[in-house]
Amino acid sequence: MPAGNRISVRAKLARLGLRWLVKRRGHKQTLAESRRRFAAMERRIPAPPRSVTTTHINAGGVTGDWIVAPRSRPDRSVLYLHGGGYRVGSPATYRQFTWRIASATRARLLAIDYRLAPEHAFPAALEDAMAAYCWLRERGPGELIVVGDSAGGGLALGLMLKLRDMNAALPAAAVVLSPWTDLALTGATLRLNAEADAMLNAPDLPKFAADYLAGIDPRTPYASPLYGDTAGLPPTLIHVGSDEILRDDAVRMSDNMRQAGCRVELAIWPRMPHVWHLLAPLVPEANAAIAQIGRFVDKVLQSKQGAADVERNPASHVRSPGRVVQ
């Protein structure tokens, strides 16, 4: 991660481009216009490399893309939940990014096309995430990781709360990027970073939240995981940019998880825009962040495997009484 507030020239140019092309126009667009813009953008997004296979599948009643990169292992799977304020976006929007996550985590990846608001309000997206997660679980043994960005990051955390409350098997790890965790919109950085954020307009969020919530309490934990009891959730990596209006959503979520005894790592990247990871390979900080995700997943799974080995055969890890070999 870059030290201090120093960022690459490419990141500075990306911030300017996002401010002009996304932030400046975003608050003026209707939902229909936003969806047309996303559809037009998707047609221009390059396909993944030929070495990556993408199969359109039905995963427990939810359609999605099944992505296998050259480094993907058959004993690792990722459920990817895309962002878009619960109103726009699809696996196609992310096809130049999700294969990179599959490669970095060395996992097969399922990116689902969950139902969007306002046509399908809460809990439709959560139900679709649950169905896809269960489908992955039923495919057989192996480790499962949940990854999500922005609204998808909040959805990933809400999914884990739901799984925990159902006494269902939890994923081995989670990664959430610039997560939207508080649909009650109480974070101070919604105001403090309103001008600094290079991409998002704070006045847009009440409409996004209202479309998704459809009248339910915005502090409902499965919709706003910031208000949930996070005890027992798996190791989680949280990324957020220092200038984001959603920075407090990430920081407060990390604090809550840490206070509940969870293993959580929070990385605040200097001056990075919302979900800057999508700017790979143009911005070096995006590639560095994706590499950090891969290292986190490897570290968690290696730690889990080591603990399982000790539990199965504790004597093999002891050289002398009371001394465990690391």
Positions marked catalytic:
150, 244, 274
What are the residue ranges of helices labelled H in 202-283? 205-213, 247-259
CA 68 – CA 109 distance, rounded (Å): 7
CA 28 – CA 80 distance, rounded (Å): 29
Tokens of 67: 């992505």
Q: What length does the chain have?
A: 326
Spatial contact of 92 and 160, defined as CB atoms under 8 Å apart: no
- Report CA torsion sign: 45, 55, 114, 100: negative
Instruction: Name the β-bridge partners of 324.
Output: 318
The H or E element spanning position 310 is helix 284-312
Q: What is the DSSP letter of 149?
A: E
Distances (CA, A) of 172 to 236, 257, 300: 9, 16, 8
CA 165 – CA 50 distance, rounded (Å): 41
Burial of 266 (0-12, 13-18, 19+ CB in 10 A): middle
Beta strand 73-81 with 62-68 is unpaired
Distances (CA, A) of 227 to 49, 157, 161, 222: 41, 11, 11, 9
* Inter-axis angle of helices 124-138 and 151-165, nearest 10: 70
Tokens 């949940």 found at: 146
Dihedral, 283, 288, 294, 299 alpha carbons, nearest 10? -160
